[in-house]
Amino acid sequence: MKFLEYPGMEAINSALNFETPECKVFGRVEPYSCKAAGADKKLYKQLENKYDPTSNANILSPPEDDSIRNIISPFGPMDQPASRKTLFYLIGTLNASFPDYDFSDTKPEHFRKEPSVGIVVNSINATLFNHGNERAVKDLRIWESIDQLIDLEDSDVYSFNPDTDSDPNEEEGGGTLWSFNYFFYNRKLKRIIYFTMRGVSYGVPVEEDGDEDDGNFSNTDDDQDGVGHRRKRSNVDDDFVAGDMDMS
Amino acid sequence: MATNLTPLEELFYQECLKAGNNGLTSTDFGGIHPDSPVMDTAIAMNSLLGRGFIEVFQVRGEQVYKALKKEEIGKAGALQGEEQVVYNTIRASGNEGIWTKHLKSKTNLHEAVIKRCLRALEQKALVKAIKSVKHPTRKLYMLMELTPSVEVTGGPWFTDQELDVDFVEQLTNQCYKYILMKSFPRDASCIFTSTHSAYPSAAMVRKYIMDKRISQVDLSVADITMLLDVLVYDGKVERFIAQVDEDWDDEDMDTDSDWVYKAVRDKKAESAWQDCPCGVCPVADFCTEGGPVNPAGCNYYNKWLDF
């Protein structure tokens, strides 16, 4: 999946990242072209082997094993190449947008085909307005920009709803209050716009570091820092979002 | 391992090895061979660092050097700069593996750089990608030769990142049947005396399961104990300490091997209302003081109290 650069996107993206009294909101809109790059080809083969009844991997399996072949997914029956293509593009988009994650094993049931573009647009607008952000829609007119890129009338919309432990929008340490993931897919133009937002509560520090590897550092250092202090996590000082807690 | 180290480097390396996990600071190095000039010390240290014999960490703002064991040296030694940093960070994560996001923050390297290094390391067969059952979508890397820990793979209960529910259920049932068999005598209406102590322990259950070859994978006592815990929480089995002698202390309680398991037989729902006539009386609602049916003249009570 090839990420497409457009000059107007930066302004839109910065308008989608803002703070409200209850939470900090992160959002981004990313246009992709449905071109298979190197790693994508491997993903494509993997999916074909999994879902295509005529592929070599599946030809030899017994006929009772129909559970995979007859899946009616949100993209249509999975034994249709067009359905598999759609799944491939969506997974490819997720992989491209979240480089630290691998969504190759995501099942079709985690996606949903939304009934209409209009409903999704309204839902996103409602979320923005409820969080006090009218600027993105009314002043910056994000939907006009998006429409220029992808011709919304002619597009399908899919949403992605992962389990909590597979969710890239879940912050480490919890704190994600809400999130959504929408894909605007225009088959003719072979383009996808990935629109994601999440709201994170202030109560939990946004951790930059995993604590897995404290083995190499002598942990006794931090105990001497005094009674009231928690064990120090590097970098939290800089990235801590809300007000005045003293972490040093 | 070919030691083409100078005598000074060799000395430093040995001293550093001796220092173990605490490592040495640069001042310590200076103190090892106080006669040699500072320049030589610096050169030796740099050479050891560059060839991967020692590595440097930041502890409380100071730089500390730790020696790498012989087996670990050969591999990282040939790597340059960023690849070495990435490799070392991955190595430090042991058999838990490290997520690329954490790799980024620990090394402070740019994403593209890390991607390149990972690809190179994978090609050299030094690291491999693994998946964790706790976070199935995260990209984890670990050293090629290590086996992922149980936390990451989920142990015998997971096949291909998915919980094998059938397997677990089947095994749990077999455990329960065995315990049931051992918990009550042949004659189903009796129970064992309170001094009977031949109830199965986790180890005995494990032996039974292994002998019957129900599971294709090897299960440890800890794994079996997990299944037995499920039975306990489901209320099917109870566990207790088999033999309690006089000098048994609360501190003795940590060994799992003291627990034995006994199947719970369905307790009949008994209550005192069944014993007393009023509980089963067909006209209890109608019965009242001074009425046609009353407690004083109750026939059922007369019968009941007539021992």
Q: What is the pLDDT of residues B110-150, one digit of tens each?
A: 889 899 989 988 988 889 998 888 888 899 999 988 888 88
Structure tokens at B41: 């010390």
**CA-CA distance, B102 to B124, in Å (whole number)?**
22
Q: What are phi and psi of B121, to 5 degrees?
A: -65, -35
Most confidently predicted of A54-68, B130-144, B203-217, B289-303 = B130-144
Could you tell me which residues of chain B have a Cβ less than 8 Å from any Cβ in chain A?
21-22, 57, 59-60, 66, 89, 92-94, 96, 98-102, 104-106, 111, 115, 131, 134-139, 161
Q: Which has the higher per-residue pLDDT, A227 or B284?
A: B284
Residues of chain A contacting residue B100, judged by C-beta atoms under 8 Å apart: 99-100
Structure tokens at B82: 């960023």
Contact across the interface for A216 and B102, Cβ inside 8 Å = no
Contact across the interface for A217 and B59, Cβ inside 8 Å = yes
Residues of chain B contacting residue A209, judged by C-beta atoms under 8 Å apart: 102, 105-106
List CB contacts of A239: < 8 A, sequence separation 6 or more.
Answer: A205, A206, A208
Residues of chain B contacting residue A168, judged by C-beta atoms under 8 Å apart: 137
Mean pLDDT of B48-69: 75
Task: Please provide the average confidence, as pLDDT, over all residues in chain B.
Answer: 80
Q: What is the pLDDT of residue B156?
A: 82
Q: What is the pLDDT of residue A112?
A: 92
Residues of chain A contacting residue B94, judged by C-beta atoms under 8 Å apart: 215
One DSSP character per residue, B237-293 reads EEEEES---TT--GGGGG-GGGEEEEEPPPPP---HHHHSHHHH-TTTTT--TTSSS
**CA-CA distance, B100 to B143, in Å (whole number)?**
14
**CA-CA distance, A154 to B298, in Å (whole number)?**
86
Q: How far, in Å, are A46, A137, A211, B305 from residue B56 at the CA level?
A: 42, 51, 19, 90
Contact across the interface for B89 and A99, Cβ inside 8 Å = no
Q: What is the pLDDT of residue A98?
A: 93
Q: Where are the beta strands (DSSP E) in chain A?
A: 2-3, 18-19, 23-33, 72-73, 76-77, 111-113, 156-160, 176-186, 191-201
The share of chain B scoring above pLDDT 90, in percent, equals 6
Contact across the interface for B59 and A99, Cβ inside 8 Å = no
Helices B100-107 and B81-92: crossing angle, nearest 10°? Answer: 120
Contact across the interface for B111 and A99, Cβ inside 8 Å = yes
CB-CB: which of B66, B106, B135 is closest to A209?
B106
A 10 A CB-CB count for A205 gives 21
Q: From B129, which residue of chain A is nearest by alpha-carbon distance?
A: A102
Q: What is the pLDDT of residue B72?
A: 64
The helix or strand, by DSSP H or E, that contains position B119, with its residue range, turns out to be helix B111-123
Mean pLDDT of B53-80: 71
CA-CA-CA-CA dihedral for A94, A99, A102, A104, to nearest 10: 40
Length of chain A: 248
Contact across the interface for B101 and A210, Cβ inside 8 Å = yes
Residues of chain A contacting residue B60, judged by C-beta atoms under 8 Å apart: 221
Could you tell me which residues of chain A have a Cβ less than 8 Å from any Cβ in chain B?
99-103, 105-106, 162, 165-166, 168, 208-210, 212-213, 215-218, 221, 235
Q: From B22, which residue of chain A is nearest by alpha-carbon distance?
A: A218
Q: Where are the beta strands (DSSP E) in A170-245?
A: 176-186, 191-201
Which parts of chain A register pLDDT below 70? Answer: 56-71, 204-248
Q: What is the pLDDT of residue A80?
A: 81
Least trusted range by pLDDT, from B153-162, B172-181, B189-198: B189-198
ipTM of the predicted structure? 0.72
Q: Give B226 to chain A, closest Cα distance, Å.
A: 23
CB-CB: which of A166, A213, A221 is closest to B137?
A166
The share of chain B scoring above pLDDT 70, in percent, equals 87
CB-CB: which of B93, B104, B115 is closest to A213?
B93
Q: What is the pLDDT of residue A66?
A: 54
Q: From A219, which residue of chain B is nearest by alpha-carbon distance?
A: B59
**CA-CA distance, B216 to A146, in Å (whole number)?**
55
Q: How far, in Å, are A103, A200, B95, B118, B119 from residue B104 at the CA level?
A: 20, 22, 19, 12, 15
One DSSP character per residue, B215-239 reads -SS---HHHHHHHHHHHHHTTSEEE
Q: Give A156 to chain B, closest Cα distance, Å.
A: 26
pTM of the model: 0.66
Does the pLDDT at position B253 exceed 60? no
Mean pLDDT of B28-34: 76
Q: What is the pLDDT of residue A221?
A: 41
Q: What is the pLDDT of residue A193?
A: 94
CB-CB: which of A99, A209, A216 is closest to B57?
A216
Q: How many CB pairs lie under 8 A apart between chains A and B?
A: 62
